[in-house]
Amino acid sequence: MCIRDRYLIDTYDVIVVGAGHAGCEAALAAARMGCRTLLTTISLDNVAMMPCNPAVGGPGKSHLVKEIDALGGEMGIAADATAVQMRMLNRGKGPAVYALRAQSDKGAYHRYMKNVVENTDNLDLKQVQVMDIIVEDGKCVGINTELDEEYRAKAVILCTGTYLDSMIIIGDTMYSGGPNGMRPSVGLSANLKKHGLEILRFKTGTPSRVDRRSLHMDKMELEEGDPENHAFSFMSERKDRNKRNCWLTYTNEKTHEIIRENIMRAPKYAGKIHGIGARYCPSIEDKVVRFADKDRHQLFVEPEGLDTTEMYVQGMSTSMPIDVQYAFLRTIPGFEDVKMMRPAYAIEYDLLDPLQLYPTLEVIKLPGLYSAGQSNGTSGYEEAAAQGLVAGINAALKIQGKDPFILARHEAYIGSLVDDLVTKGADEPYRMMTSRSEYRLILRQDNADLRLTEKGHSIGLVGEERYARFLERKKKYEEAMDYIRTQRFTPKEEINRALESMGTAPLTTGTGADQILKRPEMTYRKMMETLGCPAFDEEAVEEMEITVKYEGYIARQAAAVRKAARMENEKLPLDMDYLSLDGISTEARQKMDKIRPLSLGQAARIPGVSPADISVLMVYVKQRKGKKGAE
């Protein structure tokens, strides 16, 4: 059937535009929740592609992966299935910032996720170039493609990553292109602007890929995986996943000298890059300029996969000309004879201003349109996947006529991520870090399932097999906690002798097992070996130990959570006329009118909204409730 010179191909509940990490999680969530879903991509080779570092997890990001998994997402399972090395970072710090990181096989990760997508019920995968969104009566109702195809849907989720009008920059060379040599998305950005959406422009970059055979590994420091067994997913077995090594090397003064001599050939310093880049992830030329006092910068040399000789040079992102890239690479120990397989490049791209979104990630101005991932101003696979999951869940819930799914800051790192974006916006590519959460001691990566799996099950995303495993793990944890809370030891000679052998003070009175475990030098393993304490599940013991040792700190954060929850539970009407409210500053009224906060808590976090403004807003909310009650 021909409609306005386009052909209506099919009708879906949900259409997801873009099949990167955000798009895959969005589409899988919607389909698994019973929605007939279409996932589109410019190329089927793009599905869950890793165009930058070959890794999942790391500080802050591992928390997101664990939370995605706890809610029924796929990233953690895929990372476990395709890892070539795993390490637990920040072991020298507290458990709140422990961070699991996996080196991934890029090709295997793409193939794994593509296979999952292709074999998921209710989900179609198609290679199309989306040109327009279809808007009727102020609502988004579908998409048009470059081949004049039309697809209709009740909800459309944009997961366009860094493809919108993207430009590749290497020295003086600039051309329209997407990551990793893929096609860009040309035309959709202009269409979004036509519908009144505000578009920003950011920049990111990636290092060169080099041939392992041309490197001298004996001149670098070996970086092996952990001897301990790890897993991201609570569904995966903890086992040794170490199949490849990484290496550590450093830049030097000769490297920096070459960069300084050619600094005006760097596109940024030559005024050719206009997009905003990430302050926390600078290019090597930025490092040399900004940190002139540093005589070296570390570089991690990481394998891209099991069946390739490509190596990723972590820490050396650049857009310098190719001759300069070769020149400074060959000053690095181990890189004297390096052969480059892919050059480093910068990429500029369009994105939506995330202040245009509700915490559900639905566009305020265009009901039925959602946005998730790097197209919301974030960087990183993990941040993208987390947003995709949120958007997919909320699109499905809205179609089903159910309440939205919004995680508060005290419930998950995902809650902090989304709240930061839709409340504060993004003036540079946003990266999740543990410091962004004020509740990080209770939002640890190890307890993500205890915090979130019940929620995932209640919305229909966590299946029965996963839920049964969760209940079993929860039972094991409760058994370990019950023992440590109820067991007591008396100051018998053999008990005190055992304690002294462990370098800790003997007992002078009856003492609970939890109080003994709280001693800094004590671990539950030591208590098992010398005091005869029973063995429990390894993960249950880890969780129990953290709970007991940090009990006081956790209690203080829990009190802060209760206080914050009162503000979050005070909901604001969607139709509140902020511009007409007297007694509130003009800046606050304008920002609240744009952001449309859903609660007093969110309103209080908007930059430019003062405590005085919130006090006045609370009065208006109470007055409005009083009028409605009287009616």
One-letter-per-residue 3-state SS of 125-187: EEECCEEEEEEECCEEEEEEECCCEEEEEEEEEECCCCCECCEEEECCEEEECCHHHCCCECC
Query: Do 479 and 540 meet the contact criterion of CB atoms below 8 Å apart?
Result: yes
When pLDDT is cut at 50, 70 and 90, the band that residue 3 belongs to is: very low
d(CA 75, CA 58): 14
- Residue 68 near residue 445, CB atoms below 8 Å: no
| Selection from 42, 225, 285, 34 nearest residue 147 by Cα | 42
* Residue 133 in this model has a pLDDT that exceeds 50: yes
Q: What is the pLDDT of residues 485-532, one digit of tens each?
A: 999 999 999 999 999 998 899 999 999 999 999 999 999 999 999 899
User: How far is it, in rounded angstroms, from Cα 359 to Cα 42?
Assistant: 28
Q: What percentage of the chain exceeds 90 in pLDDT?
A: 85
Tokens of 224: 């092996």
Q: How far is CA 194 from the centre of its chain?
A: 30
- Tokens read off for 41: 């991509």
Contact 429, 63 (CB under 8 A): no
Query: For the packed helices 464-486 and 448-458, what is the interaxial angle rounded to 10 degrees?
Result: 140
pLDDT digit string, tens, across residues 532-555 = 999 999 889 999 999 999 988 888
Which amino acid, 620?
A: Y
Q: Which residue has the tokens 């509140």?
A: 576
Q: Alpha helices of 502-599 — where are they, by DSSP H?
A: 513-517, 524-531, 538-549, 551-568, 586-595
| Mean pLDDT, residues 177-204 taken together | 95
The two tokens of residue 393 are 């869940």
Dmax of the chain from CA atoms? Answer: 91
Of the candidates 30, 491, 518, 163, the residue with the CA atom closest to the CA atom of residue 499: 491
pLDDT at 134 over 60: yes
Mean pLDDT, the chain, rounded, equals: 94
Report whether pLDDT(262) > 80.
Answer: yes
- pLDDT, residue 1, reads 40
Q: Could you write out the DSSP letters of every residue in 30-97?
A: HHHTT--EEEEES-GGGTT---S-SEEE-TTHHHHHHHHHHTT-SHHHHHHHHEEEEEEE-TTS-GGG
Which pLDDT score, from 0 to 100, does residue 159 have? Answer: 98
Q: Which two tokens stand for residue 139?
A: 């609502």
What pLDDT, on the 0 to 100 scale, is given for residue 4? Answer: 55
The pTM (predicted TM-score) of the whole model is 0.94
Q: Kindly list the strands in the beta sheet with 167-170, ordered across the sheet, starting from the edge strand earlier in the chain.
A: 173-176, 167-170, 345-352, 199-206
pLDDT value for 560: 86
pLDDT 10s digits, 194-243:
999 999 999 999 999 999 999 999 999 999 999 989 999 999 999 999 99
Encoding tokens for residue 127?
A: 């290679």
**Contact between residue 415 and residue 443 where contact means Cβ atoms under 8 Å apart:** no
| Averaged pLDDT for residues 155-175 | 97
- Helices 61-70, 75-82: axis angle to 10 degrees equals 110
User: Which pLDDT score is estimated for 432?
Assistant: 93
Torsion, Cα 543 546 547 551, to 10 degrees, reads 180
Q: Give how far the C-alpha of residue 121 lies from the chain's centroid of Cα atoms, to the nearest Å.
A: 26
Give the pLDDT of residue 94. Answer: 81
Report the alpha-carbon distance of residue 406 to residue 394 in Å, rounded.
Answer: 8
Secondary structure of residue 10 in the 3-state scheme = strand
For residue range 291-313, list pLDDT tens digits in order: 999 999 999 999 999 999 999 99
The residue ranking higher by pLDDT, 621 or 629, is 621
Distance of CA 373 to the CA centre of its chain: 9
Q: Which residues contact 80 (CB under 8 A, 6 or more apart)?
A: 102, 231, 232, 233, 236, 241
